[in-house]
Amino acid sequence: MLSTYPLCIAVLLSISTDVIAAPQPKARTTGTGVMSMDLKRRAMPPKTLEEKALWAKSHRELLHTKYGRALPGGKRSTGTNLLVNQGTDSSFYGSLAIGTPAVSYNVILDTGSADMWIADSSCITGCDSIPTFATADSSSYTNTSESFSITYGSGAAAGVLGSDTVQMAGFSVSNQVFAVCDQVSSGLLSDPVSGLLGLAWQSIASSGATPFWEALVAGGAWDSALMAFHLTRYLNVNGAAQLENGGSFTMGAVNSSLFTGDIEYISLVDSGSYWMIPITSLTVQGSTATIGSGSAAYAAIDTGTTLVGGPSDQIASVYSLIPGATAGTGSYEGYYLYPCDTTVNVTVSFGGKSWSISNDDFLLQQISKTECIGAFFDFTGGNSGPAWIFGDTFLKNVYSVFRYNTPAVGFAELSTVASAMNGNLEAKVPTATIGSVAAAVSATGTNNRNSDGALRSSPSLAILGAIVATVVFFAS
């Protein structure tokens, strides 16, 4: 969840000493006229202790910046974008297409922010070896001439706002406003990722633009006004490659094969900003950890954040229940070390069922023969942001649903089908393919929600009807 420009993932990607750049994939056409692109799987070299320390420090700094900044009648359908797990659970990305003709790009999917941005082909710094967007090659691109910039804890990005047709998983939005950045700090992006797609609410968009997902909902493009994630786990799996099968992102429906039982929905504490819900209980090793009350216990559910961050005193309470845990220093300041031979059992509740976090996810890294780093770390948010951020460390353990009306986040237990995907080294990494659009809408940068979160009527958010176009989605 990024406050103005979403990139907690940038931190993950900023450590791109972890990423071995592969040649940009070449497009090929099959006999059916379908274009596909192969994504190369590369094995990752082990991290040095220095790289592990840098990753930990950079991740924490970026998350602080992300949440500490001031916040500035047609066919319905469903669509699924298969995800890629990058850097053993560091980030999860999918594919979308921009422009006319449509060109595909890989982007981080981030429920913690609301802006979309992509690297410009005229990028003068920080964009080496990654696919970039050439505005001149799209006949439908419009430059708004409005400057855009964002600063992160370890870098910055700057460019201009523009609009174009954006397509994903069978859906198309024309006049979608997004940032095209020609200045990016070195290491902020790494191949094959070219940008980020924010999936939070318009009110926290630094551009003020209607997010892609909200334009689709407002235009009536989805069967159901919700989106859902299943994320895979490859953390600490021997032999895991830099790119692995990442799970799926479904728009307009839920995939019943990926979860079992009912979906427990928790209403948002602040409709129309972050996907933020209250923590009611947190246990470690069977004992209750201290959590705050009121807004001090609010947690943003954030697919674009790798770990779990919380207030200093509450994080200290978590580790006080783990024998032998000690506060980190230096690059590990804000983190905690604990004995690697300890199996940590964590559960969290948001008002109903208790959800477990696997020890495989809690054990972030081993930094010595006996010491490991935990995935919960000390985080201090801004006055208008959430106190806690629950990222992929938690989300890999549940099927998560983000509902538009009434605004809520839902969780369900993973099915055996979903759980079997974890650590599967034989699973095929999804590839980007080009298909057809099932539903299309037009978006503007205006705010289309009333103060109570209800949708305003707007002629600019109307279904365009049957349209023949192209869209990129991931296929296995």
What amino acid positions are annotated as catalytic residues? 110, 302
CB atoms within 10 A of CB 288: 12
Q: Is residue 294 classed as helix, strand or coil in its secondary structure?
A: helix
Give the rounded distance of the alpha carbon of 140 from its chain centre: 27
Using CB atoms within 10 A of its CB, is residue 119 exposed (0-12), middle (13-18) or buried (19+)?
Answer: buried
CB atoms within 10 A of CB 476: 10
Residue with tokens 């050439």: 134
Residue with tokens 């700094």: 61
CB atoms within 10 A of CB 78: 20
Whether the CB-CB separation of 34 and 435 falls below 8 Å is answered with yes
Whether the CB-CB separation of 241 and 42 falls below 8 Å is answered with yes
Helix, strand and coil content of the chain, in percent to the nearest 5, comes to 15, 40, 45
Pairing state between β 193-198 and 103-110: parallel
Whether the CB-CB separation of 228 and 399 falls below 8 Å is answered with yes
**Which contiguous run of DSSP H or E holds residue 65?**
helix 49-68
Q: Where are the alpha helices (DSSP H) in 376-471?
A: 392-395, 416-419
Token pair listed for 10: 């940038």
Q: What sign results for the dihedral spanned by CA atoms 303, 304, 308, 314?
A: negative
Q: How far apart are the first and last CA of the chain?
A: 28
Q: Is residue 423 classed as helix, strand or coil in its secondary structure?
A: coil
Using CB atoms within 10 A of its CB, is residue 399 exposed (0-12), middle (13-18) or buried (19+)?
Answer: buried
Residue with tokens 């870098």: 155
Whether the CB-CB separation of 292 and 312 falls below 8 Å is answered with no
Whether the CB-CB separation of 464 and 440 falls below 8 Å is answered with yes
CB atoms within 10 A of CB 238: 6
Whether the CB-CB separation of 213 and 401 falls below 8 Å is answered with no
